A and B are shown apart, each in its own frame.
Chain A
Amino acid sequence: MLQIDDLWAEVEGDEGPREILRGLSLTVKAGEVHAIMGPNGSGKSTLANVISGRDGYRVTKGRVLYKGQDLLAQEADERARNGIFLAFQYPVEIPGVNNMYFLRTALNAKRRHNGLPDLDAGAFLKLVRAQLKKLSLKDDLLQRPVNVGFSGGEKKRNEIFHMSILEPDMCLLDETDSGLDIDALKAVSDGVNALRSPDRAFVLITHYQRLLSHIQPDVVHVLSGGKIVRTGDASLAAELERDGYAFLNQDAA
């Protein structure tokens, strides 16, 4: 589903471009859950932003194929309509934009892209009510402006809620576990687990192992210095939790 080959990317900053990704390669197949772990500054969020098409990042080398197509040639919105979903580390507050109106607009944009008719208000309402219940979200979140006044946990749950409505094929979760208490973490994990399917892939970007004790990954990668330096199964996450990232410095030495 997703194939990244020798990806080099820089981020534009006030003091000029800064190279963050340095030869990253990764292959994610449908049905798989990959976790990407690594210390701060290793390039985890840059990877999420490059895949989802955020402005301000420049790919200098390498390629990204999604469902066999050149992903980097697509605008962010096109990628989303083609089934890529980014759950934000810091979901943006958008005053004045009603959460439900926005979500329906997004869903219908995707449906139109796939040649489906718009979902009418009644059918949409039925769909969201069912998902809200699953994620233990309050109804009033729908009527409020997107993420405005939401607690940290509500924001992250709202991200998973959006994901569950839009039904993407490739889900990227950028440090979704940061700032969550145990109940929210469980709700978010349950949401993700409910969405696991043989047709869908997940990339969980996380700093800590705790999310992975709720969502069992198939593959765990360690990202350091802009590339993947180790790959293993779920036990790698446990090892990192126990021993930390100190081995990275030893390797460097």
Chain B
Amino acid sequence: MSAVAAYVSAFAPVAGEPDWWLAQRRAAITAFERAGFPSVQDELWRMTDLKPLTAQAFLPPQSIDGARAAALVGEAAGLLPDAWRFVLVDGGFAPALSDLAGLPDGVTLVPTHSRPRAVEPLTALLPDGIAALGVAFARDGLVLRIPAGLVLERPIHLISVQTEAGRGTHTLSRIDLEGGAQAEVIETYMGGAGAWLNAAAHVSLAMGSHLTHGIFVRSEAGAQVFARVSAHVEKAARYSASPVLVGAQQSRVDLVIDLAEDHAEADVKGLYLLSGTQRGQVLTEIHHDGHATRTNELFKGVADDHAHGIFQGKIAVTERGQKTDAQMQSRVLLLSETARADTKPELEIYADDVKCSHGATVGDIDANALFYLMARGLSRAEARRLLLRAFLEEVADGIDAPATQAAVRALLGRALDTPAQEVAA
């Protein structure tokens, strides 16, 4: 049986789900059956290794390994020790591992399961078979709403772990900030060996609000992790996204950001750090639809061994997007002759009074700097680590939300396997 047929035959109603929600899911499985998996002929999927997804069906998990879930959640939680935690295990909300005590009045933070209607923008938007499959099998997710003017003092950490090998989980989430609200939300994906995690989220930012949104992939060997975010940014609101890929056999983060109104802003500060035969891919598509909107995008990557890093960044300015200011930078270090990087910046501009630029570099580690550090006694490995960390930390430096910034640094420290040494000033 093909993977598509296996998914179709595995589709079943879930006890207690509302009729209208089942109807949405049914429509999605029908859409998936019709569309199938994307093809490498499709420009947006050309660089993705679709073979692992089409060779077998990643059906929903059957059993949860509680001890393993707790260990994975513990590891992820260490990145943000002081945060409200919302935990999904094998795609389902795990209240016992979550910590939502003390949330300010008026903040909604609940599992999607309790408010499936909240994710309707995602169920209506099914750009491809993978998105349709995600809706058809969506188990749960996070629904967050922050009332007008509220500034959350602590970050919210969505931790999604998968414990059963060879299974697939699909989550749908929704984040809404009302006018002037501010929050930091970090999603950490810990896929188990041979699992597939497929997450989709819709972000809606009302006037003057600001969301810092970390999307961290730190999974085990063999895991496939895909995350897709669509963000709608209204007047003078700001969406700051940080995709950080430091694990998984294959990871892919898609960010589609609509700067829909005047003075809306997008900040993307992201990175990948890949080795072995890992493949990491980030696609950003930022639409400038309002007057005087702004994008500031910095993406850095490091690929070693046979790893393959991909960055596709598109800036699209409509006729309404006069006075757009969009800057996009992508810089990659290749540490071996067999590592590969693809960087594809795209500008599509229909307004005539804009400032748009992009720059892309692919290079090797600086031999002079390496020798300088070694000539002071650092081993080659240590010198390399120090230089890589310095290279990638520029991304963290650009994040102006303290908890997210600290979490990115912690993630980098772990990934580069260096002890976090504090140096007194």
Contact = CB atoms under 8 A, between A and B. Distances in A.
A179 interface: no
B394 A80 contact: no
A122 interface: yes
A143 B425 contact: yes
A146 B423 CA distance: 15
Interface in A113-172: 113, 121-122, 125, 143, 145-146, 162, 166
A41 to B, nearest CB: 21
A54 interface: yes
Interface string B236-271: 000000000000000000000000000000000000
A11 interface: no
Contact of A102 (B371, B373, B380): B373
A98 B280 CA distance: 29
A185 B371 CA distance: 25
A80 B375 contact: yes
Interface in A96-122: 96-98, 100-107, 109-110, 113, 121-122
Contacts of A113: 377
Contacts of A103: 376
A39 B425 CA distance: 44
A77 B378 contact: yes
A122 B382 CA distance: 23
Given A77-B380, A162-B376, A95 B390 contact: yes
Interface residues of B, number: 28
A225 interface: no
Contacts of A100: 423
A233 interface: no
Interface stretch (A19-27, A29-37, A86-94, A213-221): A86-94
Which of A77, A79, A113 has the largest count of B CB atoms less than 10 A from its CB? Answer: A77
Contact of A94 (B373, B393, B422): B373
Given A55-B371, A92-B369, A105-B382, A98 B376 contact: no
A241 B374 CA distance: 35
B375 A121 contact: no
A38 interface: no
Contact of B372 (A55, A92, A101, A105): A92
B366 to A, nearest CB: 8
B367 interface: yes
B375 A52 contact: yes
A166 B377 contact: yes
Nearest to A142: B425
Nearest to B421: A101
B424 A121 contact: yes
Contacts of A80: 374-377
B383 interface: yes
Nearest to A94: B369
A226 interface: no
Given A55-B367, A77-B374, A91-B372, A121 B394 contact: no
Contacts of A95: 390, 394
Given A55-B371, A88-B372, A106 B378 contact: yes
B379 A109 contact: yes
B386 A102 contact: yes
Nearest to B383: A77
Contacts of A52: 375
Nearest to B377: A80
Contacts of A145: 390
A195 B301 CA distance: 43
Nearest to A125: B424
B268 to A, nearest CB: 20
A81 interface: yes
A76 interface: yes
Contacts of A55: 367, 371
B379 A96 contact: no
Interface hub of B367, B386, B422, B423 (most chain A Cβ within 10 A): B423
A75 interface: yes
Given A77-B379, A80-B376, A106-B376, A122 B424 contact: yes
Given A102-B386, A162-B376, 13 more contacts: A54-B375, A76-B374, A77-B374, A77-B379, A92-B366, A95-B390, A102-B376, A109-B378, A109-B382, A121-B423, A121-B424, A146-B372, A166-B377
The 5 A-B pairs with the shortest beta carbon distances in the complex, nearest first, are A96-B390, A80-B377, A106-B376, A92-B372, A121-B424
Interface of B: 366-369, 371-380, 382-383, 386-387, 389-391, 393-394, 421-425
30 contacts: A53-B374, A53-B375, A75-B374, A75-B380, A76-B371, A76-B375, A77-B377, A77-B379, A77-B380, A77-B383, A80-B375, A85-B375, A92-B366, A94-B369, A94-B387, A95-B390, A96-B389, A96-B390, A97-B386, A98-B423, A100-B423, A101-B421, A102-B376, A102-B386, A103-B376, A106-B373, A106-B378, A122-B424, A145-B390, A166-B376
